[in-house]
Structures are given as C-alpha cells and as structure tokens.
Amino acid sequence: MRPEEKRSADGPPLGRSAPLDGSESHEVESMGVNILLAEPRGFCAGVDRAIEIVERALTKFGAPIYVRHEIVHNTYVVNDLKQKGAIFIEDLADVPPGATLVFSAHGVSKAIQQDAQRRGFQIFDATCPLVTKVHVEVAKLNKEGYEFIMIGHKGHPEVEGTMGQLEYGIHLVEDVADVGNISPTQTQLLAVVTQTTLSVDDAAEITAAVKARFPLVRSPKMQDICYATQNRQDAVKVMSSQVDILIVVGSPTSSNSNRLAELANKLGTEAYMVDDASELQESWFEGKAKVGLTAGASAPEILVKQVIDRIKALGAVSVRKMDGIEETIKFPLPKGLKLDAQGELSAGLSKLHQQA
C-alpha cells in the first residue's frame, strides 16, 4: 500500500517492508534459514481507501457505522473495525432508519443500492474504483445491446455485485468447462468481464476458451484483473523458484490471497495460507532453508511482522526483501468525509496503530 505513506516511530506504512533491526538493510549475514519478503505485498489502494472510509465515518459521525458485508476480506481488519464501532451486516433490514451505511470494497448490486436509498440511509460507497470501472463498462455496453460473460467465482460478493448491475443478460463462468454450458440469446454483441481478483493465468485460459466458442466476443479495453492482484501474482512467480516454501498471509475468504497460494503450488513450490502467525505449523519448515513470505491485498503489514517473528523463533535468522514494483496509486475518498484537524489526527493515529 504505497499511496500517501505515513511512518510511525516503530514501523513503516502498512504494506511496506520494515528493516528488522532498525537499519536500512533487511539482510542479516548468517548461514541459517532465510526469509524472502515479496514486493509488493499486502494492502492495495482499494483496500486502503475502503478502510479509511469506515474509519473516517466513525470519527465524523460516531459509532455505530453499519457496513454491508465485510469491508475487505480480512479477519484482523474486520475485528479491528468492530472494536472501533463498525457493525457488519448482510441484510439492510438490520440497519436502523437514519443510520450511516458503507458499501464494502467488493461493490453491490443495483437492487441493494436502490434499497439502501429507499430506506433513507446516509450512504458512503467504498467499492474499489477498479470494480466500479467494470460496473460502468457493463452499464455502457448494455445500452448498446450487449450480453456479457462474466469470469469469476460464484457467490463472491464482487461477482454478485457486478452481475447485479443487470436484471438479465450476464452469464457466469467459473472455469473452461462452464464455457460450453452457457446460452446467450445472441452472439453478435457479446462481451467478457472478469472478477478483479482472479488468477491472471486462469482468467487468460478461460478467456481463450470463450473466444474459441464465440469468435466475435469483445474483450475489455483494459484488463479487469486489478494491478495489485497481478503485481502480487507476478512477485510470487519470481519468488517461487528461489524458495523451498511460501507462506501467504491472508484470510480464507480472500480471493486474491487464495490465488497466491494456488499459484505457488502450481509452480511446484509448497505453499500455505495463514490468517495470522498462530496458524503456522513447525513441521512446515523442517528441512527448509529458504522461506518466501507474501500477503494478500487485504492483509495488513502488522500480520506479516508477526509471522516473521514466529518464523524467526523457529530458527530463521535472515530477512531480505526481493526487488519489486513500487505501487503509488491513490484513490480519492467520497465526498462528505472531510475531518477537522483533530479528526485528521485521530485518523492518522488509527492507521499507525495497525502498523505497530
């Protein structure tokens, strides 16, 4: 999470690597087990923005603030916001009249948006702008008569939100086999959209199958899979050949985190995903001299630091950051969340708390 970096006295911004000894170098000269940190890893601009929206709403309007679905798919983040006064709900009927409601980073359907407006809530939309881009493209092409093939995972809130932009005319495929089972009403005006957190390679394979069956299908002008998903997968591809085992920090519900572990396994590198350091098992590291470590786009850096400490306790003596892309994207906040000076200070301290 590179945008608008802030640094605390005892750590760098979430999503950034920290010198383990307070120096500018991560590397400790030793012959023991080595940890290689992926770069980039952790928070992306969309996750950063979504969390800040909830925290600013809490500061400006006071608790409780209602959030439809988990703001991002990370247990630590959700629990931290619950402690601050956020209430996570799935059914809008659970939100009292006049309350402040935040839509999660995954986006929501048109029906949910309209229902929330009818109920008179004060609404802040934390949908990732890259997801919103897909929604806008669907709406635009729908007016031109297009039907859609959506590549994604059934039941994922982002998929439900994107498919819910239309009442009909959008067909979900989860794998290559699904491509043969869909039945668009016409094939002259057909477009592909994808969930933003998919495996880049899997999405390319499914898209190729779609094009083989529907040669006139229209691909997105820009790839729907977001920059952060691709960058983290590219880092794992580079890292996998350099390590004996890869640990991915991420929650089970996190699509992009799951894809990182799957990718490493496909490349022949033993990989495990953990929600936090308590899930690490000593047996995983037996006979392993080189340990790779990355984090999904919704996992805060504090969890990475705790995993490093745990692996060091198991015998790791060297931590090194790999070379990688520095992400500088920053998404603007919605209107209505500007704080006074004291509120801005409070919001800043809250961010630093997650980095500690």
Q: Check whether the bond before 13 is cis (ω within 30° of 0).
A: no
Encoding tokens for residue 103? 């839509």
What is the set of active-site residues?
A: 158
